[in-house]
Structure 1
């Protein structure tokens, strides 16, 4: 009986150690940057095209989606950062609704804007040609390909692409 209790204790300890690893390894969120000219909230035609391509791909891969989260951000030194950040977020939401036919209930907007911390010179150089980045996050609905779904009876892995 003691060996059975000891084995059970060891098994419970192993499961307890493994459980947090699997739960933290999963992040079903997909993120895309939308770039703006400095001090502008206009979504360029090129950025609309990039969003359309991304949303088309998401719709094909994940027909069941939950929400798009739009950030409202500016960079240090931009004029009227609070208003500018919110205008950017609202303009992205407008593209989602009017151009990409995404229901307003599926779009989450922030309550306020924020100024991004200055980025490193290396990152600044990488994004220099793109402009000021605002992130859009796409949250999948269950089931999805994330490892946290593997124990879920509704989870069906995607067939490999050929």
Structure 2
């Protein structure tokens, strides 16, 4: 009987180690996310970038250009405070302001995507200022994830503008 217990424990411990290794390998594959995000704040009832937020956006763009040779897309979503009268229209104007800034910085307009109509703009998002715009950047290959088996480098996107 003690032999059976040792064999059972040995098999179970080996199975647990194998599962842990598999989980770690899968976790590492899914953990590779080369994208970057930025949240910009706006003044109440305004779709204009403040000088400080424009500077933050320009600095973020410079960092992206220095970090990635190519880009795939930008995704932008505008948010409003429930007290603001502009509602969804104001949220869309905030997104459009950021889009114009990106296109003015040399990024292709067809790779800058705005949130679609029907998105709830008045519900607060935990950890995000409600008078803001969220920007998600997706780089194209090459980046640190392109060599993983789950990330195929079929399209190289577009080169970063100005560099």
TM-score (norm: length of structure 2): 0.69
Cα distance, 1:134 vs structure 2 = 1.5
Question: Which of structures 1 and 2 has the bigger CA Rg?
Answer: 2
Residue 27 of structure 2: aligned partner: 21
- Specify the SS of the correspondent of 1:22: helix
* Count of matched residue pairs: 137
Residue 104, structure 1, aligned to residue 109, structure 2: yes
Residue 141 of structure 1: aligned partner: 140
In 2, Cα distance between equivalents of 1:18 and 1:118: 31
Contact preservation (8 Å) 1:75, 1:118: no
Cα distance, 1:118 vs structure 2 = 6.6
Contact preservation (8 Å) 1:76, 1:118: no
The gaps in structure 2 that reach 5 residues or longer are: 1-10, 154-163
Residue 47 of structure 1: aligned partner: 53
Q: 1:73 to 1:153 in 2, by over 3 A?
A: closer
Contact preservation (8 Å) 2:35, 2:139: yes
Residue 122 of structure 2: aligned partner: 115
Q: 1:109 to 1:118 in 2, by over 3 A?
A: closer
TM-score (norm: length of structure 1): 0.69
Cα RMSD of the aligned pairs, angstroms, is 3.1
Alpha-carbon displacement from aligned partner over 1:88-123 (angstroms, at most 9, x marks no partner): 00111011112x12110120111125124275xxx6
Alpha-carbon displacement from aligned partner over 1:15-59 (angstroms, at most 9, x marks no partner): 643343123322222011111101111122332222111111111
In 2, Cα distance between equivalents of 1:57 and 1:23: 25
